[in-house]
Amino acid sequence: MGATRRDRQAGEAAEQVARHSYGKLVAYLSARTRDIAGAEDALSEAFAAALAQWDADGIPANPEGWLLTVARRRMIDTARQRETRAGAADHLKLLADELREAGDGSDIPDERLRLMFACAHPAIDRQIRSPLILQTVLGFDAATIAGCYLVSPVTMGQRLVRAKTKIKQAGIAFRLPERAEMPERLDAVLEAIYAAFTEGWSDPAGTEQRRRELAHEALWLGRLVARLLPGEPEVLGLLALMLHLEARRCARRDHQGGYVPLDDQDPSKWDAMLIGEAEDILLGASHMGRIGRYQLEGAVQSAHAIRRFGRPPDWTVLATLYDALLTITGSPVVAINRAMVIAEARSPEEGLSVLCGVENDPRLSRYQPYWAARAELLARCGQAAAADQAYACAIRLEPDPSVRRFLQDRRERLPTASAVQPHARKLTFP
Amino acid sequence: MKYMLMIYRDEAAFAPGQTSGAHSGSYIAYADALKAAGVFVGGDRLQPSSTASTLRAGDGAPEILDGPYADTKEQFGGFYIIDVPDLDAALQWAARCPAVGQGAVEVRPMWVV
């Protein structure tokens, strides 16, 4: 019995360290050599050794340091095996320097932020930045990430290997950007984190455990960056944005699993704790006096969150926020949401005319929210026939069955040509 | 680390006899800056791709073809080799290369033996 319990304790201790320190260990082990794959391999061998040895000898006082020492020895062994090659000598020297400096590993420098900047480097393919951060900082395996991003595990594995090879071979340093390049480089890191969040968010029913966890992991990453990089308001803006969206998770589906758009959600189902946290963070960001895309998006969600406290959103304020967002991003997605907000703040006709201003953007022809927004505004302007066609496009483009059902329902409720009248209900896309 | 900065540009704009290109003032100043910073390892301008001959492996002896490896609008026209600490430094130097405004500069690490 005792052995079984010990066995379990060793496993739990290893899991605990893995959860809290995996990225820290990978980052530290690869910071100088840039050999992320080598660090991951050595670390996974160290975890395997830990399970066996902690089980027999008990859990060490400093499990993190223990793992670091074992992994580092493993990396040095691997480098020695290649010693005949001249390149390995430098590698070995770097590792030896590290070994001298780090002592027993009781105070491992946190290189995770530098690792994230390397993963989101402009020379790394944009699509792989987010998966790469999930793998290196959080220890997700390629198959899990592939499941989240709906690509085959083999393809995802190859892309991750390629990106890690590039970091190593092309000399992408683990360093913090200088002041002048910080905004752009930080934006790439934040974009990667937000991409992970939205992947997790795109399963609103929350039926897929893995995806819901992805949103939580993105929040964890957001908090980590906020802690490691205090004084950057955009980090706080992103964190507030994600917290606001997360607060509404339970309200996005009805009892039958049907899609509920933001304006029809029951605000009492929104998580007031998360909203409160988001508000505090956003306020802190605003005191730093440097506005940016994520703070504005956080502020948009904050303006909607006021419904949780029994007050209607101020559509004029929302329109102003979207004006600013459009200026900064030039994004067609922002332009669509801006049109919907203007429809509320002024009139459906004005909203529709703003939306028509972007209709020539080629990126929109296959973008479901554009067609749904267009259908909605046309319906509210009394143009039922045109609305019907736009709904048909939106339905064709929508992969989520419950959103498709929602759109079909809207389409069926359009008045027939003989009884045209403005549609009373409204619909916005946050 | 050593990197090669490979310059690709539209040759039509760089006909022989034109004053722009590797011998123009901007390129001379760039090479001087590389040398002054102690990062210059080597570099040269190439003759136009119409002077190129390409050998391609076939069934027997390699086939000799008249012309460059790939017949594209922008052609490989010159290179620098620099020695800098990391990719960011290499990219910063590449961004200062006069060719950036005229075509493309590919930055590639040299193989470490």
In a domain, B52, yes or no: no
- Non-local (6+) Cβ contacts of A426 within 8 A are A263, A343, A344, A376, A380
Residue A427 has pLDDT above 90, yes or no: no
Question: Where in the sequence is the domain holding B97, given as residue range(s)?
Answer: 2-47+74-109
Contacts of A86 in chain B (CB under 8 A): 113
- Non-local (6+) Cβ contacts of B38 within 8 A are none
If one compares A209 and A234, the residue with the highest pLDDT of the two is A234
Q: What is d(CA A286, CA A209) in angstroms, rounded to the nearest whole number? A: 34
- Contact assessment for residue B63 and residue B55, using Cβ atoms and an 8 Å cutoff: yes
> Can you read off the two tokens belonging to residue B47?
């003759």
- Non-local (6+) Cβ contacts of B64 within 8 A are B53, B54, B55
Work out how many domains chain B is built from and give that number: 1
Task: Give residue A107's pLDDT band: very low, low, confident or very high (50, 70, 90).
Answer: confident
Task: Give residue A189's pLDDT band: very low, low, confident or very high (50, 70, 90).
Answer: very high
Q: What is d(CA A71, CA A26) in angstroms, rounded to the nearest whole number? A: 10
In a domain, B61, yes or no: no
Give the mean pLDDT of A242-259.
92
Q: What is d(CA A175, CA A32) in angstroms, rounded to the nearest whole number? A: 10
CATH number at residue B12: 3.30.70.1060
Hey, is the C-beta of A165 within 8 angstroms of any chain B C-beta?
no
Q: What is the pLDDT of residues A270-287, one digit of tens each?
A: 999 999 999 999 999 999
Of A86, A87, A123, which is closest to B87 when you measure between CB atoms? A123
Q: Residue A185's closest chain B neighbor by CA?
A: B88
In a domain, B34, yes or no: yes
In a domain, B40, yes or no: yes
- Contact assessment for residue B46 and residue B77, using Cβ atoms and an 8 Å cutoff: yes
Query: Under an 8 A CB cutoff, do A173 and B91 touch?
Result: no
Q: What is d(CA A406, CA B103) in angstroms, rounded to the nearest whole number? A: 50
- Contact assessment for residue A70 and residue A49, using Cβ atoms and an 8 Å cutoff: yes
Burial of B44 (0-12, 13-18, 19+ CB in 10 A): exposed
Residue A430 has pLDDT above 50, yes or no: no
Could you state, in order of their start, the residue ranges of all structural domains in chain A? 1-109
> Can you read off the two tokens belonging to residue B23?
């011998």
Residue A219 has pLDDT above 90, yes or no: yes
Query: Under an 8 A CB cutoff, do B87 and A171 touch?
Result: yes
Burial of A415 (0-12, 13-18, 19+ CB in 10 A): middle
Q: pTM score, two decimals?
A: 0.85
pLDDT at A417: 53
Q: What is the pLDDT of residues A33-58, one digit of tens each?
A: 999 999 999 999 999 999 889 888 88
**Ranges A201-210, A339-348, B79-88: which has the least confidence:** A201-210
Where would I find the H helices in B8-72?
Answer: 25-36
Distance (Å) of CA B106 to CA A317, B7, B9: 46, 7, 11
Chains A, B: CB pairs < 8 Å: 26
In a domain, B65, yes or no: no
If one compares B72 and A160, the residue with the highest pLDDT of the two is A160
Hey, is the C-beta of A169 within 8 angstroms of any chain B C-beta?
yes
If one compares A366 and A417, the residue with the highest pLDDT of the two is A366
Single-letter residue type at B14: F
Task: Give residue B61's pLDDT band: very low, low, confident or very high (50, 70, 90).
Answer: confident
- What kind and span of H or E run contains B41? strand B40-45
pLDDT at A400: 84
Give the mean pLDDT of A202-212.
62
**Three-state secondary-structure class, residue A231:** coil
Query: Under an 8 A CB cutoff, do A123 and B86 touch?
Result: no
Residue A414 has pLDDT above 50, yes or no: yes
Task: Give residue A429's pLDDT band: very low, low, confident or very high (50, 70, 90).
Answer: very low
